Amino acid sequence: MPGLNLCNENYPMTQSRSELASGQIVDSMLELARCSKQHRILVSGSHLPQVMKGLHRRGYYRVDTAASCGLPHGQYHIGLINWHGHSVKALEATLEWLVHFLASSALLVVWVDGREANRLLQSMLESFNFQVEVGTRCGDGIGILACRRDRAAAAMAA
């Protein structure tokens, strides 16, 4: 898995450490997903208020969370999961719920702590029909971009 260095060290010193880390993670996730402001984005995981605030500050307003996303029918182009301090098993349960909200060609970016989760994450994403495209490290976290494989399109191409 090729690595990118998407960490941005150019944040004002007036921000708290958690805001700084959250801002860097949001920037890295947006860059990995190649988001445009027209994409519908579903956000889940840790530090949701900071992530939502960061996305809105950057002009991304078509963003929802579990509390506001409605019924699942593949309506989101991008899924962003910031997963810190939770178990990999809980992440699997979140993915099981989230995939129903994502379009058949959706991109998913998952930000996790440490290397152990990285190894488990790749096989977990593949079990949900995602293919890992690229990853990056920033501080103590790892960001992974995965593309959803459209089974119907793959069957027609074969």
Q: What are 128-141's pLDDT values in tens digits? A: 999 989 888 877 77
Give me the number of domains the chain comprises: 1
Contact 80, 112 (CB under 8 A): no
Mean pLDDT (the chain, rounded): 80
Mean predicted confidence (pLDDT) in 38-54 = 91
Tell how strand 102-113 and strand 141-148 pair up. antiparallel
- Residue 104: give its domain's CATH number: 3.40.50.150
For residue 151, the model assigns a pLDDT of: 55
Which residue range is the domain that position 115 belongs to? 3-157
Mean predicted confidence (pLDDT) in 142-155 = 69
Model pTM score = 0.80
